[in-house]
């Protein structure tokens, strides 16, 4: 494969990028303008769209220039472990993320119809139950790693319930996904196998016995997805949702507990959790760089020639932080900018995602009113990788809460002191009316 962009390509891998990605974006902006050459892994190149207007042009795709089908790019990849690792995130699958036109419209309709059947008040109660049961596990200890003990288990337990599985199965999903995402080699392969088994079991159980859950709604949707499409629809929900959901929660908490404007005691802190979420979505979006986007014919785009078969990624993180000279309050999106994408592939789950994050963080900060980081924020460890902005750990301490008598914990007032699955979601499907 020709390394035609090197040697001044930016590196979106390794410890330097994980520590300070904004420094890499600033250097690229200075050297290349709106579109910059990068390596997403050793020897794997891409064009990174870092200008705000250029990012909006790709995402809105008004003239149909851009395709999400990256099979031409995939076909040119070298046979290396680095390339194989990138296919996991960017390789073609029959889901909305990797398709265009009529295929995209069909998958997207299934996704948006079924997500819209999740009723906000039921989801909120579910998040309260899950958050409280997690907080209960560490509240008496006075310390926690809020990535491991809180932010990661929340989406997994929620997805497990939304997909219609009993709580007991959420442990399987958690261990399969953490092996799959954090480990290499054998453990990674075991994780992938366990994840596939979990998805297979979810679908088999719902084929046999439908319920009020996402899996059953996917199966019964009039688009009549075949089995492979159904598997991919469940996979994309968990895969597209889990990582960014966990990172949105932990990135936001890390800002709140290290910035007096948000939270420095139970009684003060002028800005809200919602403000903190918007700031995290703007300055440190959980999906930092993603795509794939390809052109069908050569084009000159914001000063750079792009050929068919070349990978293009959009940097939500760099575009959001491009210096504009304008005050933030002029933005019509309240500060979130491109944190959930834009255009036809914009995140179809931004409303439930915000509700999950806000409810979980408010539960945490309501119960533990003096959370503080055990290390300065600048020293928190970030996970390396080109696509996410994601903390590896979020160590905090707080005054332990020790309920004197059973039944008097601060959370027992919620309707949701148990871990039972909620009953009943929507009563009618959007496609049946």
Measured from the CB atom, the residue of 237 and 304 that comes closer to ligand HEM is 237
Shortest spacing between CB 354 and ligand HEM, in angstroms:
8
For the CB of residue 33, give the shortest distance to ligand HEM in the complex, in Å: 21
* 237, two tokens: 């929900």
Under 8 Å CB-to-CB from 329, ≥6 apart: which residues?
Answer: none
Q: How far is the CB of 261 from ligand HEM (least distance, A)?
A: 21
Collapsed DSSP state (helix, strand, coil) of residue 35: strand
Contacts of 372 (CB under 8 A, 6+ apart): 257, 396, 397, 398
Sign, CA dihedral 294-298-299-303, equals positive
Q: Give whichever of 165 and 345 is closer to ligand HEM, judged by the CB atom.
A: 345
Closest CB to ligand HEM among residues 21, 285? 285
> What minimum distance in Å lies between the beta carbon of 352 and ligand HEM?
5
DSSP string, 72-97: HHHHT--SSHHHHHHHHHHS--SSGG
The least distance separating ligand HEM from the CB of residue 38, rounded to whole angstroms, comes to 17
Distance of alpha carbon 392 from alpha carbon 145, whole angstroms: 10
In angstroms, what is the minimal distance from the CB of 370 to ligand HEM? 27
Q: For residue 181, give both structure tokens.
A: 């995402």
CB–CB of 277/358 below 8 Å?
Answer: yes
> Based on CB atoms, which residue is closest to ligand HEM, 153 or 348?
348
CB of 112 to ligand HEM, least distance (A): 9
Q: How far apart are CA 90 and CA 41, in angstroms?
A: 13
Compute the distance between CA of residue 310 and CA of residue 303 in angstroms, rounded to an integer: 16
Alpha carbon distance 142, 92 (integer Å): 45
Shortest Cβ 369–ligand HEM spacing (Å): 26
Which one, 44 or 118, has the nearer CB to ligand HEM? 118
| Of residues 235 and 417, the one with the C-beta less far from ligand HEM | 235
Sheet holding 143-145, edge to edge: 143-145, 395-397, 372-373
Stretch (H or E) spanning 215: helix 214-220
Nearer to ligand HEM, 144 or 154 (CB): 154
Q: Give least dist CB 338 to ligand HEM, A.
A: 7
Q: Note the residues at the interface with ligand HEM (CB under 6 A).
A: 59, 96-97, 108, 111, 236-237, 240-241, 244-245, 248, 281, 285-287, 290, 316, 339-341, 345, 347-349, 352-353
SS3 (DSSP) at 6: coil
Nearer to ligand HEM, 77 or 314 (CB): 314
Taking the complex as a whole, the smallest distance from the CB of residue 62 to ligand HEM amounts, in Å, to 15
Q: Which lies closer to ligand HEM via its Cβ, residue 97 or residue 401?
A: 97
Residue where the block lists tokens 């079991």: 201
For 377, residues 6+ apart whose C-beta sits below 8 A from its C-beta are 254, 255, 258
Give the C-alpha distances (Å, rounded to integers) separating 46 from 33, 91, 92, 256, 387.
15, 14, 17, 34, 12
Judged by beta carbon, residue 354 or residue 417, the one nearer ligand HEM is 354
CB atoms within 10 A of CB 120: 11
């Amino acid at each position: 494969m020709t390394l035609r962009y090197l040697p001044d390509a930016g590196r979106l891998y390794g410890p330097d990028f994980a520590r300070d990605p904004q420094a890499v974006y600033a250097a690229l902006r200075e050297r290349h303008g709106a579109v910059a050459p990068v390596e997403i892994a050793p020897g794997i190149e891409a064009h990174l769209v870092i200008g705000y207007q250029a990012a909006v042009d790709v995402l809105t795709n008004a003239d149909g220039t851009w395709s999400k089908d990256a099979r031409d790019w995939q076909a040119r990849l070298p046979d290396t472990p680095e390339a194989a690792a990138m296919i996991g995130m960017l390789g073609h699958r029959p889901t909305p993320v990797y398709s265009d036109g009529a295929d995209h419209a069909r998958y997207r309709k299934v996704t948006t119809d079924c997500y819209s059947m999740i009723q906000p008040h039921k989801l909120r109660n579910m998040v309260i139950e899950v958050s409280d049961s997690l907080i209960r596990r560490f509240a008496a200890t006075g310390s926690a790693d809020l990535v491991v003990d809180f932010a990661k288990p929340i989406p997994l337990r929620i997805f497990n319930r939304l997909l219609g599985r009993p709580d007991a199965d959420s442990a399987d999903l958690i261990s399969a996904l953490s092996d799959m995402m954090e480990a290499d080699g054998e453990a990674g392969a075991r994780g992938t196998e366990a994840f596939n088994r979990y998805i297979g079991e979810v679908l088999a159980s719902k084929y046999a016995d439908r319920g009020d859950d996402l899996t059953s709604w996917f199966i019964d949707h009039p688009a009549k997805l075949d089995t492979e499409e159904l598997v991919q629809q469940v996979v994309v929900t968990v895969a597209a949702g889990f990582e960014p959901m966990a990172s949105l929660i932990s990135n936001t908490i890390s800002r709140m507990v290290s910035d007096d404007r948000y939270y420095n005691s139970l009684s003060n802190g002028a800005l809200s959790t919602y403000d903190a979420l918007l700031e995290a979505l703007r300055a440190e979006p959980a999906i930092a760089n993603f795509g794939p986007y390809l052109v069908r014919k050569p084009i000159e785009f914001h000063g750079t020639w792009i050929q068919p078969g070349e990978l293009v990624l959009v940097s939500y993180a760099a575009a959001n932080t491009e210096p504009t000279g304008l005050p933030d309050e002029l933005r019509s999106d309240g500060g979130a900018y491109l944190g959930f994408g834009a255009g036809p592939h914009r995140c179809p789950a931004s409303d439930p995602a915000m509700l999950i994050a806000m409810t979980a963080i408010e539960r945490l900060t309501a119960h533990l009113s003096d959370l503080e980081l055990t290390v300065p924020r600048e020293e928190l460890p970030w996970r390396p990788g080109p696509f996410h902005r994601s903390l590896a750990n979020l160590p905090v301490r707080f005054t332990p809460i020790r309920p004197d008598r059973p039944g008097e914990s601060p959370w027992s007032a919620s309707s949701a002191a148990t871990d039972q699955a909620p009953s009943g979601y929507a009563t009618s499907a959007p496609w049946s009316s």
